[in-house]
C-alpha cells in the first residue's frame, strides 16, 4: 500500500500548464521531498492532492483511496498561505479545527493540551490568535496540521519564515512522526533541508518531473566524480581543462564535476603548485548541485538548441 | 452534518460574543424608541414664550375680534399668560411707509412679526360671479417675520384669522356663524376591514405594524447578508479558508456560515420581541381601564408568515452575499457587486405603497411571485388582505426552488472564488466557474 499515488496528473490554467503529466508515489513511513524552483507547480500539485483544485486528467490515490471528506480526516495539511482566525482564542481555534477534522471533544482537549505544551504555548491558550507573535502563529499553524494524528502529513513550504530554533523543532517533530510510521510530504526550494531528512524526492521544473527517486541512490548515480575544492589564489584556468564537465565557483570554494571518463585522481596533480589547496575532497554531489544542473542546466541547453536551429 | 454544526457553533459564538452584537442588541430598541420618543419630547418641551405681533388691519374690522380670539385658552401659554400679544398699527401716513417702519421694528426684534390684512379680505360677491365654476381665488394676508418655518405657530395664527374672517363674512350676509358651523359639520368615512373571521375596526394600527414588519425583513436581510459577506471576505483575507477547506467541503462551510449567522439574527429578534412584549405589557398597565385605546396587536398568522418569509428571504439573499464575498478581496471591492443585490431589496420597498393600495391587482400578484421580491411583497399582501392560500403556497414554493437553485449556483462560485486572490473575476470567468465540475 502506498501512502500517496499520483499518476499522470495535469492541470492547465488557461493555456499555461501548472502541472503536466506528473507521476510519483510515496511509501508509507517515509519523508518525501517535493522540490523545485518557485512556480514549478509544487503548490498546485499539493492542492490537487488535497482536492482543492481538481486535476484536468490523471488520478490521485491517498492511502489507496480517492480523496474525499472521510479521507480528509486522515490527512494533515499545512497550506503555503498560512492563516488562522485572528479574533479567536487559541484554545477555541484549535477546538474548532479539531472538531471539523472529526475529533471528539475529550480527545481534542487532550491533544490540544499536549501540543500546546510541546510547543511552549500553554500560557497563550486563552489569548486571541492576533496577540501571538509571528513565530508563535507558525507553531500554532503546525499544531493545527497534526492535531488529529493524521496518517499522511502534507506540508507546503513548512520551513519558510521559521527561525533556526523553530526550524530544528519542526525537523525533530517530523522525524519523530516518521518513527511513529506516519508519512510526510513536504515541498521546498531549499535543498539543505531536504538532504537532512528526506528519504525520497521528486524534482519538478516548469510543471514537469525532472528527477524522482531515492535520495541516496540519486546522489550515487550522480557519481563519485565530484570534487570539492577549498583554495586560495587564481583558479580560473581550471575551467579550460578537458576533464571538466561543470564548475560551481564560489570564489574560495569550488564544486567541480568531472566528465565520466576522468577520475578525481587525475585532476589533483594539475592543480598542485598553481593554487594553494586547503582541502581537496571527493564526494557525492550536493543536492543543490544536482538541482542547479537539472533545472538551470536544462534552461541553458534549451537556449543552445534554439540558437543552433 | 456534524461538521456543519461545528461551523454553525463557531460563527454563532464568535459573533454573539462581540461588543458589536451586544451593543447592537441593546441599542437597537433604544434607538427605535428614541426615534419615536425624542421628537415628541423635543416638540413638547420647545420653549414657547410670549411674543408681540404687529397688526395692520386695513379692514378696520378684524383686529378686535382676532385679539379676542387669541385671548382664548387654546392660544395661551401653559402658565396661562397670553402667547400672542397684538399691537395695532394705523396706516395714517400711508401703507408703504408703515410697512417699512414695521419691517425695521421686526429686524430690531421689537416685534416678532407683523400681520398685514388687506382691505378686500372680507369681500366675496364680485370675484365669485366672475369665476363661477372654478375655485374662488384665494385672498392673501401676510405674515412677515424673520422666522417663517414654525408651522405650528403659522397654523394657529392662520386658523384664528380664518375663523374671524369667515365669521365676519357670514355676519355680513346675515347668517349665524354658529348655525353654519353645524350645517357644515363633517362626516367621517370609517374603514372597516372584514375577513372570514369577522370584522375589525382599527385597521390603522395593524397596517402600521405590517409596514413596520416588512421594513424589518428588509433591514434584517441587508444587515445580516452583509455580515455573511464580511465573514467570507475575512476568511479569505486571513487565508484561513484553505486550512478549513482541508477538513470540509466549501458547501459545508458556506451553509454553516449562513445558518450560524441566521441563528444570530433569530436570537437578536427573539430578544427584541421579548423586549417589545414586555414594554407593551408595561405601557398598557398605564392605560386606564375602559379607555378607547388598544395597543395594535399582530395577528398570529401574520407573525407566522413573518418568520417564514424572513427565513426564506434571508437564505435567498444570504447565498448571494456569500457568493459576492467569495469573489472579491476586500469590502471596498464588494460594494460594486452589492449594489445590484441591494436593488432587489429596494425595489419592493418602493413598491410597498402601491401594494398596500391595490393588494389584489394582477400586477401586485405578479410582483409578489417574483422570488427576489416575494419575501417583502407577498408578506405585505398577507398583512393587508390575506390572499388565497394557493397564492401564498405557490410563492413559498417558488422561493424555495429559487433558493435551492441559488445555493447550487453560488456554492460553485464560492468553491472557486474562495481560493482566488488578486483581480476580481469578470462575468465570463464567473460563468466558467459555474461550469467547472
Interval B393-425: pLDDT, tens: 999 999 999 999 988 888 888 878 877 766 667
Same domain, A95 and A143: yes
Query: What share of residues in chain B are helix, strand, coil (percent, to 5)?
Result: 65, 5, 25
B139 within 8 A of B54, measured Cβ to Cβ: no
More confident call, A235 vs A63: A63
Could you give the ipTM of this predicted complex?
0.77
Distance from CA of A214 to the nearest CA of B (A): 29
Same domain, A140 and A262: no
- Give the three cell numbers for residue B212: 413596520
Residues of B in contact with A150 (CB under 8 A): none
Q: In the listed set A219, A252, A271, which residue is the last one of a domain according to the structure?
A: A219
Same domain, A234 and A267: yes
Same domain, A228 and A124: no
> pLDDT value at position A302?
40
Nearest CA in chain A to B233: A85
> pLDDT value at position A116?
94
Same domain, A257 and A180: no
- Picking from B230, B420, B238, B14, the residue whose alpha carbon sits closest to that of residue A137 is B238
Residues of A in contact with B7 (CB under 8 A): 100
> pLDDT value at position B436?
65
How many domains in chain A? 2
Residues of A in contact with B249 (CB under 8 A): 69
Residue B6: which of A83, A88, A100 has the nearest Cβ? A100
In CATH, what number is assigned to the domain containing residue A229?
3.30.70
The region that residue B4 occupies, defined by phi over 0 for left and psi between -120 and 50 for alpha, beta otherwise, is alpha
Q: Which pairing describes strands A244-249 and A253-258: parallel, antiparallel, or unpaired?
A: antiparallel
Residue B242: which of A69, A83, A86 has the nearest Cβ? A83
Same domain, A160 and A262: no
Q: How far apart are the first and last CA of chain A?
A: 47
State which residues form the domain around A266. Answer: 223-308
CATH topology of domain B50-183: D-Maltodextrin-Binding Protein; domain 2 (3.40.190)
Q: In the listed set A219, A253, A285, which residue is the last one of a domain according to the structure?
A: A219
Same domain, A180 and A131: yes
Place of cell 543552433: A308
In CATH, what number is assigned to the domain containing residue A164?
3.40.50.300
Task: Dump pLDDT digits (tens) for B362-396.
Answer: 998 999 899 999 999 999 888 887 888 899 999 99
Say if residue A236's pLDDT is above 50: yes
Same domain, A239 and A200: no
Q: In the listed set A219, A237, A255, which residue is the last one of a domain according to the structure?
A: A219
> pLDDT value at position A300?
40
> pLDDT value at position A21?
93
- Give the three cell numbers for residue B373: 421580491
- Picking from A181, A193, A118, A184, the residue whose alpha carbon sits closest to that of residue A155 is A184
A219 within 8 A of A287, measured Cβ to Cβ: yes
> pLDDT value at position B437?
55
CA-based Rg of chain B, rounded to a whole angstrom? Answer: 32
Same domain, A50 and A34: yes
Same domain, A104 and A83: yes
Same domain, A212 and A139: yes
Say if residue A220's pLDDT is above 70: yes
Domain borders along chain B are 50-183, 203-282+296-435
Same domain, A286 and A184: no
- Picking from B403, B336, B327, B391, the residue whose alpha carbon sits closest to that of residue B365 is B391
Amino acid at each position: 500500500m502506498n501512502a500517496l499515488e499520483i499518476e499522470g496528473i495535469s492541470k492547465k490554467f488557461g493555456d499555461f500548464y501548472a502541472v503536466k503529466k506528473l507521476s510519483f508515489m510515496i511509501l508509507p513511513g517515509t519523508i518525501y521531498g517535493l522540490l523545485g524552483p518557485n512556480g514549478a507547480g509544487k503548490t498546485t500539485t499539493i492542492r490537487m492532492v488535497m482536492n482543492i483544485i481538481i486535476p484536468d486528467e490523471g488520478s490521485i490515490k491517498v492511502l489507496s483511496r480517492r480523496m474525499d471528506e472521510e479521507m480528509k480526516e486522515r490527512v494533515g495539511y499545512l497550506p503555503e498561505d498560512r492563516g488562522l482566525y485572528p479574533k479567536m482564542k487559541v484554545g477555541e481555534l484549535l477546538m474548532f479545527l479539531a472538531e471539523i477534522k472529526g475529533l471528539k471533544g475529550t480527545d481534542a482537549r487532550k491533544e490540544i493540551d499536549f501540543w500546546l505544551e510541546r510547543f511552549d504555548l500553554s500560557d497563550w491558550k486563552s489569548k486571541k490568535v492576533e496577540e501571538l507573535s509571528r513565530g508563535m502563529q507558525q507553531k500554532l499553524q503546525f499544531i493545527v496540521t497534526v492535531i488529529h494524528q493524521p496518517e499522511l502529513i502534507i506540508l507546503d513550504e513548512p520551513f519558510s519564515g521559521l527561525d533556526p530554533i523553530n526550524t530544528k523543532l519542526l525537523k525533530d517533530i517530523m522525524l519523530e512522526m516518521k518513527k511513529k510510521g506516519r508519512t510526510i510530504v513536504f515541498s521546498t526550494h531549499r535543498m539543505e533541508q531536504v538532504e537532512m531528512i528526506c528519504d525520497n524526492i521528486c524534482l519538478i521544473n516548469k510543471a514537469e518531473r525532472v528527477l524522482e527517486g531515492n535520495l541516496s541512490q540519486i546522489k550515487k548515480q550522480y557519481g563519485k566524480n565530484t570534487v570539492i575544492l577549498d583554495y586560495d589564489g587564481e583558479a580560473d584556468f581550471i575551467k579550460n581543462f578537458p576533464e571538466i564537465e561543470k564548475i560551481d565557483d564560489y570564489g574560495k570554494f569550488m564544486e567541480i564535476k568531472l566528465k565520466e571518463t576522468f577520475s578525481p585522481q587525475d585532476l589533483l596533480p594539475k592543480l598542485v603548485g598553481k593554487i594553494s589547496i586547503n582541502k581537496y575532497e571527493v564526494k557525492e554531489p550536493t543536492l543543490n548541485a544536482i538541482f542547479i544542473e537539472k533545472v538551470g542546466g536544462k534552461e541553458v541547453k534549451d537556449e543552445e538548441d534554439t540558437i543552433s536551429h | 452534518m456534524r461538521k456543519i454544526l461545528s461551523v454553525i457553533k463557531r460563527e454563532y459564538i464568535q459573533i454573539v460574543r462581540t461588543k458589536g452584537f451586544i451593543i447592537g442588541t441593546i441599542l437597537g430598541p433604544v434607538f427605535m424608541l428614541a426615534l419615536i420618543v425624542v421628537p415628541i419630547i423635543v416638540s413638547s418641551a420647545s420653549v414657547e414664550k410670549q411674543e408681540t405681533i404687529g397688526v395692520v388691519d386695513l379692514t378696520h374690522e378684524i383686529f378686535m375680534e382676532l385679539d379676542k380670539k387669541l385671548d382664548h385658552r387654546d392660544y395661551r401659554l401653559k402658565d396661562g399668560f397670553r402667547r400672542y400679544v397684538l399691537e395695532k398699527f394705523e396706516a395714517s401716513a400711508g401703507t408703504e411707509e408703515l410697512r417699512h417702519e414695521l419691517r425695521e421694528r421686526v429686524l430690531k426684534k421689537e416685534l416678532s412679526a407683523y400681520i398685514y390684512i388687506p382691505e378686500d379680505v372680507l369681500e366675496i360677491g364680485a370675484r365669485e360671479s366672475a369665476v363661477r365654476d372654478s375655485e374662488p381665488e384665494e385672498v392673501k394676508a401676510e405674515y412677515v417675520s424673520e422666522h417663517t418655518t414654525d408651522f405650528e405657530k403659522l397654523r394657529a395664527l392662520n386658523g384664528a384669522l380664518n375663523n374671524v374672517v369667515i365669521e365676519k363674512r357670514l355676519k355680513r350676509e346675515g347668517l349665524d356663524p354658529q348655525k353654519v358651523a353645524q350645517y357644515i359639520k363633517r362626516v367621517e368615512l370609517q374603514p372597516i376591514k372584514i375577513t372570514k373571521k369577522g370584522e375589525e375596526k382599527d385597521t390603522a394600527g395593524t397596517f402600521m405594524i405590517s409596514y413596520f414588519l416588512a421594513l424589518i425583513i428588509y433591514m434584517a436581510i441587508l444587515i445580516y447578508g452583509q455580515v455573511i459577506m464580511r465573514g467570507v471576505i475575512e476568511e479569505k483575507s486571513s487565508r484561513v479558508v484553505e486550512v478549513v477547506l482541508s477538513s470540509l467541503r466549501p458547501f459545508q462551510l458556506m451553509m454553516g456560515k449562513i445558518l450560524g449567522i441566521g441563528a444570530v439574527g433569530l436570537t437578536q429578534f427573539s430578544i427584541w420581541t421579548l423586549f417589545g412584549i414586555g414594554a407593551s405589557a408595561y405601557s398598557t398597565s398605564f392605560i386606564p381601564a375602559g379607555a378607547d385605546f388598544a395597543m395594535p396587536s399582530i395577528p398570529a398568522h401574520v407573525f407566522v408568515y413573518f418568520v417564514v418569509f424572513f427565513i426564506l428571504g434571508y437564505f435567498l439573499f444570504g447565498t448571494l452575499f456569500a457568493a459576492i464575498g467569495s469573489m472579491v478581496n476586500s469590502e471596498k471591492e464588494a460594494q460594486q457587486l452589492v449594489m445590484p443585490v441591494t436593488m432587489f431589496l429596494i425595489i419592493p420597498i418602493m413598491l410597498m405603497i402601491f401594494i398596500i393600495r391595490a393588494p389584489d391587482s394582477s400586477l401586485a400578484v405578479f410582483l409578489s411571485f417574483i422570488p427576489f421580491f416575494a419575501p417583502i411583497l407577498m408578506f405585505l399582501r398577507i398583512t393587508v388582505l390575506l390572499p388565497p392560500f394557493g397564492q401564498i403556497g405557490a410563492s413559498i414554493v417558488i422561493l424555495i426552488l429559487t433558493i435551492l437553485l441559488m445555493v447550487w449556483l453560488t456554492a460553485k462560485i464560492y468553491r472557486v472564488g474562495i481560493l482566488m486572490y488578486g483581480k476580481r473575476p469578470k462575468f465570463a470567468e464567473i460563468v466558467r466557474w459555474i461550469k467547472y465540475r
